Amino acid sequence: VIDNEKRIMTPGSLAGQRGTKRSPTMDVSPDSGDPLVKPMPRVDVRVVLFTVDAGRLFVAFDEQPNCRALPRRCPEQAESLDTAGTRILIDHVGIAERYLEQLYSISHTHTSEGQWTVTYLALALACDGAPLLDPAVWAHARNLPEMNPVDRKIIDYALLRLRPKLGYTTIAFHLLPPSFSLSELQIVYEAVLGQEIDKRNFRRKIPAAGVLEATGITRREGSHRPARLYRFRAGHDAETYLTPGWAFDSEQEAANS
């Protein structure tokens, strides 16, 4: 079982399932290797979880009171990295992410903590049930609190990777409910990019990409013209871009020397 770097982008929002596609099996095979185990550096996994609410981008911190640190965890033996990422979010933030992507592995020898850290980027939906916008958990990405500089760098890097992905993937879907207006989509883009977008260019370019589908429904909410709602097409063929085929079945995997 091998982690996927980037998952299928078909929006889980459509059918209700999560967008994060996992490997089919998650079983734990006993380590059939030699008994002499050299001491290995300790490893932790840290996750940068973003969400967008009211046009603002938020980052999740560990839910321990006033703990201004990224949710993290030392994965257990035989736990996959991806699984660790998901469990971190459930255990330390109380959120199930909709998108999870590994970012980078760093080795830092000056800390007393784990020497190696595997970092993840995750996306979740703001109003998806969980206790959101709890100021003990969520911090505005444009105004991050005091925190250790390693976590700060990891957040900066996560944003650096997330932003250009808006342009060539459909990753923004994971920050939106199953149906949405073009204005809502634009607000998500603006929140992540941190800058305004021209409305007319946006409304020409996004539908031209062919990943949207009109629901036919309009939503009235206020003293103005109602908005047409859209959803993401199930079969859109984007996202082969730079996506590795980290998919093995067990037999192939067992052939690894």
Interface residues with DNA (CB under 7 A) are 181-183, 198-201, 203-205, 218, 220, 222-228
Measured from the CB of residue 236, what is the shortest distance to DNA in angstroms? 16
Residue in this structure with the two tokens 């994971």, named with its chain if needed = 174
Distance (Å, rounded) from C-alpha 162 to C-alpha 151?
16
Decide which of its own copies, DNA, none touches 17; Cβ closer than 5 to 8 Å per partner kind.
Answer: none
Is residue 91 involved in binding its own copies (CB under 8 A)?
no
Contacts by 144-153 with C-beta closer than 8 Å and gap 24+? 144/59, 145/68, 146/68, 147/61, 147/68, 147/69, 148/69, 150/106, 150/108, 150/111, 150/117, 151/46, 151/69, 151/70
Residue of 17, 24, 76, 218 interacting with its own copies (CB under 8 A): 76
Binding mask 18-57 for its own copies (x = CB under 8 A): ---------xxx-xxx---xxxxxxx--------------
Residue of 69, 136, 144, 182 interacting with its own copies (CB under 8 A): 69
Distance (Å, rounded) from C-alpha 87 to C-alpha 31?
22
Q: What contacts 198, CB < 8 A, 6 or more positions away?
A: none
Residue of 14, 81, 96, 136 interacting with its own copies (CB under 8 A): 81
Measured from the CB of residue 206, what is the shortest distance to DNA in angstroms? 10
Distance (Å, rounded) from C-alpha 247 to C-alpha 120?
19
Residues in contact with its own copies, counted by CB under 8 A, come to a total of: 63
Distance (Å, rounded) from C-alpha 187 to C-alpha 190?
5
Distance (Å, rounded) from C-alpha 46 to C-alpha 120?
6
Strand partners, 48: 121
Residue of 164, 194, 210, 226 interacting with its own copies (CB under 8 A): 164
Is residue 255 involved in binding its own copies (CB under 8 A)?
yes
Distance (Å, rounded) from C-alpha 46 to C-alpha 24?
23
Residue range at the interface with its own copies (CB under 8 A); choices 7-15, 72-80, 192-200, 209-217: 72-80
Q: What contacts 136, CB < 8 A, 6 or more positions away?
A: 61, 63, 65, 66
Residue range at the interface with its own copies (CB under 8 A); choices 52-60, 122-130, 158-166, 191-199: 158-166
Decide which of its own copies, DNA, none touches 5; Cβ closer than 5 to 8 Å per partner kind.
Answer: its own copies
**Are 85 and 122 spatial neighbours (Cβ–Cβ below 8 Å)?**
yes
Decide which of DNA, its own copies, none touches 218; Cβ closer than 5 to 8 Å per partner kind.
Answer: DNA
The SS3 assignment for 13 reads: helix
Residue range at the interface with its own copies (CB under 8 A); choices 88-96, 133-141, 224-232, 248-256: 248-256
| Residue ranges that bind its own copies, judged by CB under 8 A | 1-3, 5, 27-29, 31-33, 37-43, 69, 74-82, 102, 104-113, 115-116, 118, 148-151, 153, 156-157, 160-161, 164, 242, 244-246, 248, 250, 252-257
